[in-house]
């Protein structure tokens, strides 16, 4: 009697499933890294645009007050 609950055939298919799952995890990790990189770039762009917008508003307010 075997101690393992899997037959030898099941062990082979389990190894194949493990390889497939491992590849999927690697692909998902790459996609996630790409999304994180895009998010960081977008955040940086938003920060620059917000700074420009705030500067324009402050300049407009200062020019309006000086009238």
The reply to whether 1 falls in a domain is no
How far is the C-alpha of 65 from the C-alpha of 59, rounded, in Å? 10
The reply to whether 5 falls in a domain is no
Range of the domain at 16: 11-67
The reply to whether 51 falls in a domain is yes
pLDDT in tens, 4-55: 555 656 778 888 999 999 999 999 999 999 999 999 999 999 999 999 999 9
pTM beyond 0.85: the answer is: no
Would you state the pLDDT for residue 1? 47
How far is the C-alpha of 8 from the C-alpha of 63, rounded, in Å? 82
Number of domains in the chain: 1
The reply to whether 61 falls in a domain is yes
The secondary structure of residue 34, as a DSSP letter, is: H
């Amino acid at each position: 009697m075997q101690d393992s609950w899997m037959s030898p055939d099941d062990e082979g298919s389990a190894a194949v499933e493990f390889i497939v799952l491992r590849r999927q995890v690697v692909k998902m990790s790459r996609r996630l890294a790409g999304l994180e990189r895009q998010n960081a770039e977008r955040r940086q762009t938003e920060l620059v645009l917000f700074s420009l917008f705030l500067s324009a508003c402050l300049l407009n307010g200062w020019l309006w007050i000086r009238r």
